[in-house]
Homo-oligomer: A and B are copies of this chain.
Amino acid sequence: MAQADDGTGLPASLATAWGLRERPSRGPKPTLSLDRIVDEAVAIAAADGVEAVSMPRVAKALGVSTMSLYRYVGAKGELLILMQEAATPPAPVLDPAASWRASMERWAREQRKIFYANLWLLRIPLTGPPATPRQVEWMECGLSALADTGLAEEAKLSVLMLVGGYVRNEAAVMSSIDAAIRESGRTPDEHLREYARTLSVLTTPERHPGVTRVLDSGVLQGADGEDDEFEFGLACVLDGVAALIERGGGS
């Protein structure tokens, strides 16, 4: 009755991701493999965005019919999860001698690198708390960075969510800008300038003194210093975490 009995009561997509399902050895040889499907889907997403990933398109790229894919994947959502998993490299091995702060910085920066290399990742809606192998691996990695801080377990989770959320959010904004740019065919610099112009048309110094000041300051004129802005925010977040740790950590 229920789905393939893999011992756990896991949803099929997770079971697949954890490699708990074995292919049977009975029928004809499969023409494809899960890996080839996922790789192709990732390639399409990288080239044209996630919204371009459809079962017909993936199948066509692989030279098979649409429905063949469903012999490997239970549903499209499953494919999306597997794509995320495939695009996420293993978590780094942190230097145990390094300070928690250096470790968290590395954790954050490496995650950011992944997002920037796969901006389509951020266009996949969240499906729930982290439960795929790589997600758990990164979680473990983050926890290990905080192991010696004396924080309560609950606080560690909160810190990870805080820092991870910051990274994700910053990248998501970039990703949305990237998607908008891709659609409009402008360059990033044009886009920012266009945005500044739009804002200046819509706002008035009386009703929007703060926004006007920002516009006048010329901050929105050049798209340089993305990294600086990220590091700025990261430092800010970690300062907050440091304050928490010094205070003696959340009981």
Contact = CB atoms under 8 A, between A and B. Distances in A.
Interface string A56-71: 0000000000000000
Interface residues of A, number: 69
Given A140-B211, A237-B236, A127 B166 contact: no
A175 B128 CA distance: 9
Given A236-B243, A240-B237, A243-B240, A143 B199 contact: no
A243 B205 CA distance: 30
A45 to B, nearest CB: 14
A75 interface: no
A158 B232 contact: yes
B233 A161 contact: yes
Given A136-B208, A213-B153, A199 B131 contact: yes
Contacts of A133: 202
15 contacts: A10-B198, A123-B125, A126-B172, A128-B177, A129-B195, A131-B199, A136-B208, A140-B210, A143-B211, A143-B213, A161-B173, A165-B169, A169-B169, A236-B237, A243-B243
What 5 A-B pairs are tightest by C-beta distance, nearest first?
A143-B210, A240-B240, A165-B169, A126-B176, A236-B240
